Structure 1
Amino acid sequence: MKKILLTATAFLMLFSCQNDQTESTTLPANAIARRSCASQDVLAAQMKADPTLALRMNEIEAFTQKAMLTNRLVNGKVQIPVVVNVLYRTTSENISLTQIQSQIDVLNKDYNAGNSDFNSVPSLFSGVKANVGISFVLDQVIRKSTTYTSWGTSDAMKKTTYGGIAPTSPTTKLNLWVCTIGGGILGYAQFPGGSSSTDGVAIDSKYIGTTGTATYPYNLGRTATHEIGHWMNLRHIWGDANCGSDLVSDTPTHNDANYGVPAYPHYSTCSGTPVEMTMNYMDYTDDRGMYMFSNGQKSRMAALFVSGGSRASFGI
C-alpha cells in the first residue's frame, strides 16, 4: 500500500487529461470495446476555462486530508436524493422508470456492500474492503425530447440554452443526465469544486442500470458507481499517470488502467511489485470485474459530508 506525499505542484499534475476505457470478449456488434469515462478530460477543460478551480480543488483536498487525519468524518446517515434528467431523440433513449430504478438499486448495493460479488474480494484485500454506507433515493425523473443525436462532453446536456435540462437543486440533490454522449464515452462526472450549474454526472443511455438498453459488458450499473465515485472526490486508482497516486493510502500502486476482467493476481511493475486492486470500482475493468471500494476511499468520500466539507449540504 502507498503513502500520500504530494507537493502542491505534484497535486496539480493529478488533474491532467485522461480518458476512461475497458476490454471484453464477445461484444454485441454495436458495443464499444473499451470503457471510456471523460471525467478527467472535462476537468481539464473546466480548469482551462476557470483558473480558480484548481485553487478550490486544492482547498478541498487539504480539508479532506485533514479530516481523515483527525478522524473528523461524517457520523450518521448520508442519503443522496437523485434527480434523473432523460434527454431522448429515439424511443430507446427514453429509458423506462424500471431501468432507472435498477440503477438506483445498484448504487445502494455497491455503496453498502450489498452486491453479491462483494464476497469475491480476494483475501489479500479483505481487510480493507469497505461498506461506504451512503444510500441513494430516486427523487425525480425529468424527460425532454431533443433532436440531438449525441451530446458530447461540453456539458451541453446540462444547459437549457443548448436544449438540455438545467440541474435541479444541485447543492442538495445529485443530478444524473441520461442521454447519448457519443465518441465512445460511457459517462463522466464533475469533481467537487466545480460550478453548481453543471454539477452532477452524465451517463450514456446504453450503460445505465441493468435492464432495457443496458449493453454488455457495461450492463451491471457500474458506470454510474464509478462516475459517482468521481463526484464524491475519488480519483482513478492508477492516479491518471504511470504508477501515479489516487490520494488513497490503502489501494496498491497501479501501472495504468486495467481493462476487461484481469486474472487475479495481477502484478504491478511499480515499486514493490504490488498486486493491483483490479476489482476496485475506480479502475477501468468491465462491470463484472469491479466490485469493491476500499476503507481509504470510504474515508475520502465521507470527508465531503462533514461540516465545512464540499458536499456538507447533502449530510443528514
Structure 2
Amino acid sequence: MKKLLLPCLIMALTFLSCHKDEIESQSSDITIAPTARKCASMELLAIQLKNDPAMADRMLQIESFTNKVLKEHKAARLVNGVIEIPVVVNVLYRTASENISDAQIQSQIDALNEDYNATNADFTLVPATFSGVKANVGIRFVLDQTVRKSTNKRSWNTNDYMKISSRGGIDPTSPATKLNLWVCTLSNDILGYAQFPGGASATDGVVILNTAFGRTGTAAAPFNKGRTATHEVGHWLNLRHIWGDATCGTDYVNDTPLHNTANYGCPAAGHKSTCTGTPVEMTMNYMDYTDDACMYMFSNGQKSRMLATFVSGGPRYSFAQ
C-alpha cells in the first residue's frame, strides 16, 4: 500500500526546482511525429517552480488539504450527482490540417466523458485483478466554445507561449470556471502537458498535440482515442504518473500498485513489477504511458484524489459551484 507522504513530495519538488531548465531553450521549429507517449507535465512543473518559488508551498498546502479530505472521507460526498466542467478549446494553426474540425473537437469531448464516467467500451477489459478498484469518476465535460487563431509558428514547446496572446498564443478564457485546452503542434515528441493545481491562473489548463486530440480527423494511431487529453486532465486534477516519476515511486494513491517505471505500447497481461511485493502493474491505467488502445481505467483512489480538488477549500472548488 502506498502512503501519502508529504516529505516525499517536498523532496520531489525540491529536485524539480533545481532541474536544469533546458526545456525553455528547445527550438520551436523541430517537429517529430511521436511514436511513444511523452507527457511534459513534470518538465513544465520544473520550469514553474524555478520561476515561482512560492508555488512549492502552494502545492504542499494542496497536498496537505488533499490528505485531510481523504482521511475524513469527504471526497465521495462532495457534490450531488455529476460535476460539470465547461471546456474552452483553443486551436492554434499554421496549416489547414492543423485547424482541426469541429467534429474532431467534439470527438475529444466525447472521449473525455466516456473515460471519466466509465462508459468507454474498453472499460469491460479491466482484468479481474483490478475489478474491485476500477472507478466511475463522475465528471461531465461540456464544450463551451472554440477559439481559433492563425499563427506563423511551426511548433510550440513547454514555455507556455501558446497560452499568451502577446507571444502569439491565445489567452485562457475564464480559467477559474472553465477548463482551457490548447490544441497545437508541439515540438520534441511531446503529446501534451498539463498545469497542476497550484500554478498561476493565467496559464492554467492543458495543452495537447493536434494529432493526438480526439478520435477522428488528424488524430493518428497509436494516439487516436482521445486518451492523451484523459491523461493530461488527470494531471490538471492533481493526479501523478502511476510510477511516481521515480523507480518504484509513489503517485500518492493507495490502490494503484507500485510500478518500476513507465510502460509503453501495449504490455502483456499480468506484467509484474519488481518493486516491493512484485505486484501486477496497472498498465491499463490512464496515468501510465501506454498507447491509447491499452489504457482504459482510473482507480477509486485516483477518483477520490481528483474529487478532493472540488471540495470547499480545494484548488478546483470554483468548478463545483
TM-score interval w.r.t. the shorter chain? over 0.9
User: Are 2:106 and 1:106 aligned?
Assistant: no
User: Within 1, Cα distance between the matches of 2:278 and 2:172?
Assistant: 44
**2:11 paired residue number:** 13
Cα drift, residue 14 of structure 1: 3.3
2:212 is the counterpart of 1:207 = yes
Which residue of 302, 307, 311 corresponds with 1:302? 307
Alignment of 1:167-186 (within 5 A): 167-186=172-191
Structure (1 or 2) with the greater helix fraction: 2
Corresponding residue number in structure 2 for 1:23 = none
| Dislocated runs of 4+, deviation >4 Å | none
Match of 2:40 among 38, 41, 51: 38
1:116 aligned partner, one-letter code: A
Within 5 Å, give how 1:84-123 maps onto structure 2.
Answer: 84-123=89-128
- Residue 313 (1) aligns with residue 311 (2): no
Match of 1:54 in 2: 56
Unaligned runs of 5+ in 2: 20-31
Q: Which residue of 2 aligns with 1:274?
A: 279
Q: Which secondary structure does the structure 1 equivalent of 2:43 belong to?
A: helix
Letter of the structure 1 residue corresponding to residue 245 of structure 2: D
Deviation at 1:93, TM superposition (A): 0.3
The answer to whether the 8 Å contact 2:34/2:191 transfers is: no
Per-residue deviation, 1:6: 1.8
Aligned partner of residue 193 in structure 1, secondary structure = coil
User: Which deviates more, 68-77 or 33-42?
Assistant: 68-77
How far does the alpha carbon of each residue in 1:213-234 deviate from its partner, in whole angstroms, 9 at most, with x for none? 0010000000000000000000
Distance 2:10 2:218 in 1: 38
1:5–1:101 CA distance, 2 compared to 1 (3 A): closer
**Native 8 Å contact 1:158 1:177 kept in 2:** yes
Q: Does structure 2 retain, via aligned residues, the 8 Å contact 1:31–1:215? A: no
**Counterpart among 264, 270, 288 of residue 265 in structure 1:** 270
Amino acid in the other structure paired with 1:41: E
- CA drift of 1:5 comes to 4.6
> Which amino acid in the other structure matches residue 3 of structure 2?
I
From 142, 157, 163, give the equivalent of 1:158: 163
Q: Is the aligned partner of 1:67 residue 2:69?
A: yes
Aligned equivalents of 1:262, 1:13: Cα separation in 2 = 31
Q: AA paired with 1:305?
A: F
Give the distance between the partners of 2:242 and 2:187, measured in 1 at CA. 25
- Looking at structure 2, the residues matched to 11 and 188 of structure 1 have their Cα atoms a distance apart, in angstroms, of 20
Counterpart in the other structure of 2:244: 239
1:27 corresponds to: none
Q: Amino acid of the residue matched to residue 14 of structure 1? A: A
Once residues 210 and 2 of structure 2 are traced to their aligned partners in structure 1, the CA distance between those partners, rounded to angstroms, is: 38
Cα distance in 2 for residues equivalent to 1:141 and 1:47 = 30
**Partner of 2:211: helix, strand, or coil?**
coil
What TM-score do you get using the length of structure 1 for normalisation? 0.94
Work out whether residues 6 and 64 of structure 2, in 8 Å CA contact, stay in contact via their aligned partners in 1: no
**Could you report, residue by residue, the CA deviation over 1:262-298 in whole angstroms, capped at 9, with x for unpaired residues?**
0010000000000000000000000001000000000
Q: Which amino acid aligns with 1:80?
A: I
The whole-number CA distance in structure 2 between the counterparts of 1:219 and 1:194 is 29
SS at match of 2:175: coil
Q: Distance in 2 between matches of 1:297 and 1:14?
A: 20
Deviations 1:18-38 (A, max 9, x none): 9xxxxxxxxxxx742211110
Task: Provide the residue aligned with 1:225 in structure 2.
Answer: 230
Q: Does structure 2 conserve the Cα–Cα contact (< 8 Å) formed by 1:14 and 1:239? A: no
Alignment of 1:127-166 (within 5 A): 127-166=132-171
Give 1:7 deviation, angstroms: 4.2
Per the alignment, do residues 124 and 212 of structure 1 end up closer, same or farther by CA in structure 2, a change over 3 Å counting?
A: same
Q: Is the 8 A contact 1:243 1:254 kept in 2?
A: yes
Question: What is the CA-CA distance between 1:72 and the residue it aligns to?
Answer: 1.4
Q: Do 1:14 and 1:240's aligned partners in 2 also have CA atoms closer than 8 Å?
A: no
What TM-score results when the alignment is normalised by the length of structure 2? 0.93
Q: List per-residue Cα deviations over 1:124-144 (Å, max 9, x = no partner).
A: 100000000001000000000
**How many residues were matched structurally?**
303
**Partner SS, residue 314 of structure 1:** helix
Identity %: 65
